[in-house]
Structure 1
Amino acid sequence: MNTVSTLQRFGIGISLFFGYALFAVAWKVGDFYVLSVHTFDNAQLADSTAWLNVAKLVTNFLLGIAVARVAAKYYFATVGNGFAIGLLFSAVGLAVMVNASSDLMIMAGRAIVGLGGGLVLFCQSPLTASIFSGKELNLMNGFNASAYNIGITAAITLSATILALPAESMELVTYVLIGLSLFLAALVFLSLNKVTASESGEVASFSSGLVEKFNWVFCLVFSGAIVFYTLSFTFIEPANIMNLLYAGVVGNFAGIVLLNKFEIRKLAMTTTVLASLSAIPFVLAGSQVAAMALGFFLFASLPAFISLAYIRENVNPSSLALTFMLLWVGSDLLVTVMVKVFAAVPTSVGNMILLSLVAIYGAGTVFIARKYK
């Protein structure tokens, strides 16, 4: 058991939320930086994003092995400090990118940001499950699920201003992000340092995570939503996606409220199916009404969908870490491939890819909710 006061839980919760949101901002500001200062085209942007995702993928995979085999006796300390170290790596990656003198150094900086993001993503879910329970856990799952979209939305909302900045001002924005990353890393470390934790709980083996069918299904289904979202905010013009992102922020908080009012499985099925249907007129016709509906239902579904992993029988923080490790490894691999594919195919093919991805999310959620209790 972890002895955590209300004030400590609040501090840790705030740190988890803003740490994840800050990684999303760092990702998107990195996009803006290479587009504005280094005048990358879409193909080069896709390459730099691929480096970031490969680093996230490798980090999550190696952490899954390390936590299951090397750090089992110090599980809570490992995921807690790992989250803080992830923020530090994100700051270092941004610093490398800003001071890069070649495309290779830019790619290396993006990869280091991805390494930090891999640590943040891997450690967030088990750390949340270790500290929170009951309605507090549902609330934190909802807030954590909203953090990435809020970070991306904030960055894209300010995109016109950021892209219009001269190189010196763009560097200043990046250094501000570096400072915030360092501050949050210190806050997480100091908050967790005051927590009294027992390290004697059961730790799931790496092999058990690989043979658990739920983990692979969960990975495939959620990857549909992740890849859809990543392709959208990477390649769709900001003016055409802003309504989706703004509605997504509202939908995410609506999903948090609804999570404690409706049965989780029914809520997950309903919202994901409605999101899938809303995607059709948005992708094919550019309907902004459909964009708002898609954004609302897509992000309203996230708290309930994420909770499907938590409400199964016999789950614990370490088994959840392996579930989400496979999720991030699988989704990062698909993002890496699909970003390259999407940049090369005609619009009509790209539209079919987007619709297929969101359909996988909707139909797959129905399958998970009915199959796994």
Structure 2
Amino acid sequence: MSTTSNVTAPSQERAPAALRFVISVMLFLSYMLFAVAWNWGDLYVRSLGFSASRTALMTNAITIAQVIGSLVAANVLLQLGPRRAFTLASALIVFGGFASLTEVFPVIFFIRFVLGLGGALMVVLLSGIVARILSGRALQIANGVNSVAFNTGLAVALTFGMQMNDDPTFAVVLAAGLSLAILVLWLVVSRLGLRGATDGQQQVDSPYTMRDGFREWFNWVFALAYTGLLSYYIVAFTFMDAGTIRWVVYAGVIGALGGTLVSARTQDRIKPVVVSVCAALQIVAATAVLAMADHHLAVLAGVTLGLVIFFPMPFFVQLAFIRPGVTPRQIAVTFSIFWAVSYAGSVIFIQVFAWIADATGGLGPDNTPVSAAPMIFIVIVEATFLIGSVLLWRWFKAQRAFEAEEIAA
């Protein structure tokens, strides 16, 4: 069985294993708290009584920022180095707390945009930094765990959502305060733990630009495959019934952790197969959640959906790392393109969803669409994950066949 990544890391002085572990935990917590800040910020936005279109615009303030941030993240990492780049990302997330000081729509939009920019930088930097400090099975496990960081943050946010809904202003401040505490710890720990991945890293890593990345077929399909799934999930935790989505999120944490353990022990050639099978099951589960909205089996459908969405995510993320000869610099560029393209697509799909919702009755008192039409639309959009995963499966099969022919020759 494959237990190592194909990432070709440049030689560097490694920090002690304990420090690298602490840094990995801080990376996870930082992005987890971004999800908390996003969700509790949604509570604050909803308390202001905006329409479905304006609520979607507030969500898209973050997703638009994710597009821009993702496009520049790889170069930010290259220019600032991992420590300063991650510090910048964390500071932008902390800035999101200033939303609690205003009720003016354009100002809140700007603050949410800055929050999203920090999250965009952070999610790309996660992959670039762990590829520099970890290798082998440790890298696979870290990538798997990081793939559930956002979902874990949602689980935390939803668990305490009832209490925070009574005082959404406090919720926004609390999320920013927790992020600030992690940022302070990061400034101390990263100074020691990233000494082997300094600002001069780019001089020993491979020359690989965003232009190079956009020319690669893999990067486009990898990103577009995720676009529909991301759009569906953002709509789900913003506009679905809170009781159902809570079970989706909780099951997702369990599914992703299980997927992390299984993927680290799974042969590389099997990983695209797992992703494709789960992608097909996602469509079935998403349809079941929609059909059983008021049924006593709604919880079961939600749990199933959470499992089949997040169990394959560690496998899916690992596809970027098991390409032949891939380097940390290429990983950073791949995930810059991945998040930029997927969030750009989600901006469009989420806004179309909102327009359909407004045209078919708007939102009910629980912030869910009155009509099923927008939910049907977003389930159809989610199918891009199945299409893309099958294409990636075929691509990896072709790569293995090509390598076999070269060996035979």
Fold match (TM-score > 0.5): yes
CA distance in structure 1 between the aligned counterparts of 2:172 and 2:384, rounded to whole angstroms? 36
Q: Deviations over 1:156-199 (max 9, x none)?
A: 2322221123xxxx333322222221222222333322133262
Amino acid at match of 1:290: A
CA distance in structure 1 between the aligned counterparts of 2:187 and 2:315, rounded to whole angstroms? 29
User: In 1, are the aligned partners of 2:143 and 2:317 still within 8 Å (CA)?
Assistant: yes
Q: 1:220-299 maps to which residues of 2 (within 5 A)?
A: 220-263=224-267, 264-286=271-293, 287-299=298-310
The residue that corresponds to 1:185 in the other structure is 183
Which residue, out of 208, 226, 230, partners 2:212? 208
SS at match of 2:102: coil
Indicate whether 1:129 and 2:131 are aligned.
Answer: yes
Amino acid at match of 2:183: A
Gaps of 5+ in 1: 72-76
CA distance in structure 1 between the aligned counterparts of 2:348 and 2:178, rounded to whole angstroms? 31
Indicate whether 1:350 and 2:349 are aligned.
Answer: no
Q: Deviations over 1:219-270 (max 9, x none)?
A: 0001121111011111112012222111111111111111123332333233
Distance verdict in 2 for CA 1:272–1:80, change over 3 Å: farther
The residue that corresponds to 1:39 in the other structure is 49
CA distance in structure 2 between the aligned counterparts of 1:186 and 1:290, rounded to whole angstroms? 41
Amino acid at match of 2:373: V
Which residue, out of 115, 120, 130, partners 1:113? 115
CA distance in structure 1 between the aligned counterparts of 2:144 and 2:120, rounded to whole angstroms? 20
CA positional deviation for 1:305: 0.5
Indicate whether 1:61 and 2:71 are aligned.
Answer: yes
Which residue, out of 16, 28, 33, partners 1:17? 28
Amino acid at match of 2:38: W
User: In 1, are the aligned partners of 2:292 and 2:301 still within 8 Å (CA)?
Assistant: no
The residue that corresponds to 1:89 in the other structure is 92
The residue that corresponds to 2:161 in the other structure is 159
CA positional deviation for 1:211: 0.2
CA distance in structure 1 between the aligned counterparts of 2:103 and 2:374, rounded to whole angstroms? 34
Indicate whether 1:172 and 2:170 are aligned.
Answer: yes
CA positional deviation for 1:44: 2.0
CA distance in structure 1 between the aligned counterparts of 2:151 and 2:321, rounded to whole angstroms? 21
Q: Deviations over 1:336-372 (max 9, x none)?
A: 2222211121444323322223322123212212313
User: In 2, are the aligned partners of 1:275 and 1:297 still within 8 Å (CA)?
Assistant: yes
User: In 1, are the aligned partners of 2:205 and 2:329 still within 8 Å (CA)?
Assistant: no
CA positional deviation for 1:298: 0.9
The residue that corresponds to 1:196 in the other structure is 195
CA distance in structure 2 between the aligned counterparts of 1:192 and 1:204, rounded to whole angstroms? 26
CA positional deviation for 1:25: 0.6
Distance verdict in 2 for CA 1:42–1:255, change over 3 Å: same
SS at match of 2:312: helix
Greater fraction helix: 1
SS at match of 1:186: helix
CA distance in structure 2 between the aligned counterparts of 1:101 and 1:343, rounded to whole angstroms? 22
CA distance in structure 2 between the aligned counterparts of 1:348 and 1:176, rounded to whole angstroms? 35
SS at match of 1:78: helix
User: In 2, are the aligned partners of 1:255 and 1:302 still within 8 Å (CA)?
Assistant: yes
The runs of at least 4 aligned residues of structure 1 exceeding 6 Å deviation read: none
CA distance in structure 1 between the aligned counterparts of 2:176 and 2:217, rounded to whole angstroms? 39
The residue that corresponds to 1:74 in the other structure is none
Aligned identity (percent) is 26
User: In 2, are the aligned partners of 1:284 and 1:351 still within 8 Å (CA)?
Assistant: no
- The TM-score with structure 1 as length reference comes to 0.91
Of the structure 1 ranges 267-276 and 322-331, higher mean CA displacement relative to structure 2 is found in: 267-276
CA distance in structure 2 between the aligned counterparts of 1:158 and 1:297, rounded to whole angstroms? 25
SS at match of 2:319: helix
User: In 1, are the aligned partners of 2:41 and 2:171 still within 8 Å (CA)?
Assistant: no
CA distance in structure 2 between the aligned counterparts of 1:370 and 1:261, rounded to whole angstroms? 22
User: In 2, are the aligned partners of 1:84 and 1:186 still within 8 Å (CA)?
Assistant: no
Amino acid at match of 1:234: T
Distance verdict in 2 for CA 1:205–1:311, change over 3 Å: same
Amino acid at match of 1:51: A
User: In 1, are the aligned partners of 2:144 and 2:257 still within 8 Å (CA)?
Assistant: yes
Q: Deviations over 1:52-79 (max 9, x none)?
A: 22222112223345556xx2xxxxx523
The residue that corresponds to 2:394 in the other structure is 370
For the aligned residues, what is the CA RMSD? 1.9
CA positional deviation for 1:272: 2.5
